Structure 1
Amino acid sequence: MRFIEEVVVEEFLPTFRSMLAAELRERGLTQHEVAETLGISQSAVSKYAHGEINRREEVLSDERVADLVERIADGLTTGDMTSVQALVEAEVLVRRLEEGDLLARLHEQAMPELAEYDGYGRIHDPESALRTSEQVRSSVRRALRRLTNTSGFAGLIPNVGSNLVECLPEAATVDDVAGVPGRIFDVKGRATVPGDPEFGVSEHVASVLLSARDAGRDVRAAINICYDPEIVATLEAAGYDAVEFDPDAPTDPIRESLADREDLPETFVCYQTGGYGIEPITYVLGPDADAVVAAVKELLRG
């Protein structure tokens, strides 16, 4: 993992300083004067002068960088520009080059994983959709670790497999819901997660979650486990209200069953007892992945 600040320090700054040192030397300043002006050692100036540092061609060839170097060199030489103003001008350019520009491209080269995200500048925005989506994936990942490390969970996985999902705050489609690709299966008594959480990989459990949201429930996460009357009774005894729905209903069964339930707690249960070719399933829905996993763990206490 490399931060863009590392790119500035390690890739941009040495080239920028070497360019500025060369311009100051061309204007008649001695190595000692250049060192004092730039606040660096004379040995560093000597290395710049003798080409003993690696310089990035992308920085050298950027006209904006070259223009600023000349302006700063002129200003520092004539006294028209203070070192503080020179620093401010350089900082302004650096910030500009970080916003989807030269430094952003250098950062993407150093961190190829960033290339998949449109709008590179979003990684610097604390309110960005990118940050929110990564937080959702992290939430699912963290809850999965708690779940799969809990003894006995594999016994709650239905034949169709389980999935743990969490959605974005304004989720509208399954593409806004992160879950386990391929579902969680019981492999020889062990809950097996085939891959890292992704968006748009869960159709079934994601659809249940979205239906509950359509019914006005303020939920963002869900998990499906097997159905048994004792499972539902245990969850109800732990304080999780349970709502039965008909999987064969002609319209949206989840939304219909929740439409008139204004009294539900933030984490609750929906279940169906099966139908023709339909396996009975229990769903736990709540405000986040951690909350629904906490409910499932109630079944495994003792």
Structure 2
Amino acid sequence: MRFVEEIVVDEFLPTYRSLLADALRERGLTQSEVADLLGISQSAVSKYVHGDVERNERFLNDDDLRDLVDRVAEGLASGEMRPVQALVESEVLIREMERGGPLAQLHEEAVPALADFEGEYAVHDPDSDLREAEQVLASVRRGLRVLENTSGFATLIPAVGSNLAESLSDAGGVEDVAAVPGRIVDVKGRATIPADPEFGVSEHVATVLLAARAAGSDARATLNVAYDEGLLAELDAAGYETVEFEGQADLSDAPDADGPADLDAAVDEALADAPDADVLYHTGGFGVEPIVYLLGPDAPTVAGMVRDVA
């Protein structure tokens, strides 16, 4: 694990400071004056201006950095820019480079897993999509640990398997929902989770969650378990609101499953009068396995619902 700040210190700052020191010296400032403006020692300035510090070619060829060096050097040399403003201007460029410029590229090279995240991201942004995605994956992993440690959960896994899913806050499709690749299955009385959660790997369970959200539910997570009248009674007794949804939408991931529109309509109708329902269930039909979907704000909470009644 390498932080982007390490790349800033090791690669960006030596290049930037050396360019800035050169630019200030070209404008007639002494090494002592340059040191005072940059807040570094005079010996460091000497190393910069004499080429004793290695520069990163990636930054040397960046037009935005060259433009910043010229603006800051001119501003500091003329007195029109205070060091604080120079610092702010430099920080702004650093953040921009982290979002999609040379710093982001170098960070991806140092941490290849970052390249798996599509689109622009900023590691320092507390509201970034990257941060939320990682938080959702971590939440699903915590929920899975709850299920693994819940005695009796394996008996609630339906024939088609279970899955635990959680969506991004602004989820618009299956690709914005994290779940277990494949399904959670019962292997000799033990719930078996085949792989770590990923986004876009659960077509049906994710679709149910998205349909519930589209129908007015605030749920961000869901878990499907086997239907049982006794289970529903226990959920009712535990204070959870249950509601049945009708229709014959195939509840498996089989290729001949009915389209999402059928499922969306069924979920929408069920939640029309109960948008805060915690439990959706279907009693089955010809070729359709009866099933229960637990809804909640996050994966650990939904897993906890199973723990409450298992």
Larger Rg: 1
Alignment correspondent of 1:94? 94
- For residues 247-258 of structure 1, the aligned pairs below 5 Å read 248=248, 252=262, 255-256=265-266
Distance 2:152 2:219 in 1: 26
Shift of 1:12: 0.8
Q: Rate the CA distance shift 1:163–1:89 in 2: closer, same or farther, 3 A.
A: closer
Distance 2:79 2:171 in 1: 58
Q: Which has the higher mean CA deviation after the structures are superposed, 245-254 or 52-61?
A: 245-254
Alignment correspondent of 2:279? 269
Alignment correspondent of 1:164? 164
Alignment correspondent of 1:117? 117
Q: Note if contact 2:242-2:277 (Cα within 8 Å) is conserved in structure 1.
A: no
- For residues 1-302 of structure 1, the aligned pairs below 5 Å read 1-24=1-24, 31-49=31-49, 51-70=51-70, 72-73=72-73, 76=76, 82-121=82-121, 123=123, 125-246=125-246, 248=248, 252=262, 255-256=265-266, 259=269, 264=274, 266-300=276-310
Q: Note if contact 2:171-2:177 (Cα within 8 Å) is conserved in structure 1.
A: yes
Cα deviations by residue, 1:1-39 (Å, 9 ceiling, x for unpaired) = 444443322211111112333445566766555433432
Q: Rate the CA distance shift 1:241–1:85 in 2: closer, same or farther, 3 A.
A: closer
Shift of 1:131: 4.1
Q: Rate the CA distance shift 1:80–1:219 in 2: closer, same or farther, 3 A.
A: closer
Q: Rate the CA distance shift 1:264–1:13 in 2: closer, same or farther, 3 A.
A: same
Letter aligned with residue 259 of structure 1: E
Shift of 1:177: 2.5
Q: Note if contact 2:241-2:279 (Cα within 8 Å) is conserved in structure 1.
A: yes
Letter aligned with residue 272 of structure 1: H
**Higher RCO, 1 vs 2 (CA within 8 Å, ≥6 residues apart):** 2
Q: Note if contact 1:267-1:287 (Cα within 8 Å) is conserved in structure 2.
A: no
How many positions carry a matched residue from both structures? Answer: 300
Provide the secondary structure at the position in 1 that maps to 2:100.
coil
Provide the secondary structure at the position in 1 that maps to 2:142.
helix
Shift of 1:129: 4.2
TM-score, with structure 2 as normaliser: 0.77
Distance 1:87 1:261 in 2: 54
Cα deviations by residue, 1:23-71 (Å, 9 ceiling, x for unpaired) = 4556676655543343222443344355443321122233443454455
The unaligned stretches of length 5 or more in structure 1 are none
Identity over the aligned pairs, expressed in percent? Answer: 60
Q: Note if contact 1:241-1:265 (Cα within 8 Å) is conserved in structure 2.
A: no
Provide the secondary structure at the position in 1 that maps to 2:292.
strand
Q: Note if contact 2:98-2:123 (Cα within 8 Å) is conserved in structure 1.
A: no
Q: Note if contact 1:246-1:253 (Cα within 8 Å) is conserved in structure 2.
A: no
Shift of 1:199: 2.3
Distance 2:51 2:241 in 1: 72
Provide the secondary structure at the position in 1 that maps to 2:288.
coil
Q: Note if contact 2:247-2:266 (Cα within 8 Å) is conserved in structure 1.
A: no
The unaligned stretches of length 5 or more in structure 2 are 250-257
Letter aligned with residue 281 of structure 2: Y
Shift of 1:297: 0.9
